[in-house]
Amino acid sequence: MSYRTNYLHTYFKTTVVIPDSGKKEYKAVWLLHGYTGDDTAWIRHANIEELARKHDWAVIMPEARNAFYTDSDFIPYYSFFVKELIPKIQGMFPISSKPEDNYIVGSSMGGYGALKIGFTNADKFSKIAALSPITDIEKFRNNPQCPMDKKTFDSIFGTAKKIHDNQLATIFNRLQPRQKVLTVCGDEDYMHEDNIMFKNFMTIHLTDNYTWMPVDGDHSWVTWVGNIDKVFKWLEN
């Protein structure tokens, strides 16, 4: 679907998969793409329709362009997602609005988005899963393999205060969310060290509600597609 948003004043696309079992309301997975992706990224790389049928869940895949699921000077994406997109999708489709029926998942930039949106919206999401998430945006910016140029990064996280305020650890410490959280990272991922540090942080602060899933692989669709079924199984339990 494509529609003109009130927050963004332009047309944005969202791909929605609804099972054909005829339920009045479905549980939903909000599945977020990474940097340079779009609303079709997950459905092009993985068999999302089969996962939706298998679990009898709706899957919502919104376009995020390269906004990092964050409000910035050029696009108030976070506000759009939380205040406009979620209620619009839940109003248009047979999707439950109960937090226990909504899960948020993402890879790379989308993993950061899933954790950030999940942490700040415990009233909307009961489980959060992130594959190869960007867990420290400052270290990500300074990583030689970071795909973002300085101009794009600064347009989103332009000041030291904004970087600090948007760090996942800062958000977690401020809000103390208690949802169940899973992070997945390949042993050859260029952000593996950052993910290990985040794993240690979450293990201390979230204890039994946190799950770490180490896997083989690098920062690529091969790794994410190879493990998305495990993520959906984790969501189901």
Q: Closest by alpha carbon to 182, among 145, 120, 121, 236?
A: 236
Place of tokens 């609804």: 18
Instruction: List, edge to edge, every strand of the sheet that includes 58-62.
Output: 2-4, 11-17, 58-62, 28-32, 102-107, 127-131, 180-186, 210-215
Q: Which residues of the chain have pLDDT under 70?
A: none
Angle between helices 168-175 and 192-206 (to 10 degrees): 10
How many structural domains are present in the chain?
1
pLDDT of residue 22: 92
Q: Which domain holds residue 12?
A: 2-236
What pLDDT was estimated at residue 3? 87
So what's the pLDDT on residue 86? 98
Write down the pLDDT at residue 74. Answer: 85
Burial category of 173 from C-beta neighbours within 10 Å (exposed 0-12, middle 13-18, buried 19 and up): exposed
Contact of 43 with 71, CB cutoff 8 Å: no
Please state whether beta strands 180-186 and 58-62 pair in parallel, antiparallel, or not at all (unpaired). Answer: unpaired
Rounded Cα–Cα distance for residues 149 and 232 (Å) = 33
The pLDDT of residue 98: 98
- How far apart are the C-alpha atoms of 67 and 77, rounded to whole Å? 6
Q: Give the pLDDT confidence score for residue 48 in this predicted structure.
A: 98
Rg (CA), the chain: 17
pLDDT given at position 8: 87
Q: Is 35 helix (H, G, I), strand (E, B) or coil?
A: coil
- Residue 230, domain CATH: 3.40.50.1820
Which residues does 12 contact at the CB level (< 8 Å), separation at least 6?
2, 3, 5, 62, 63, 80
Predicted pLDDT at 7: 86
**DSSP state, 101?**
G
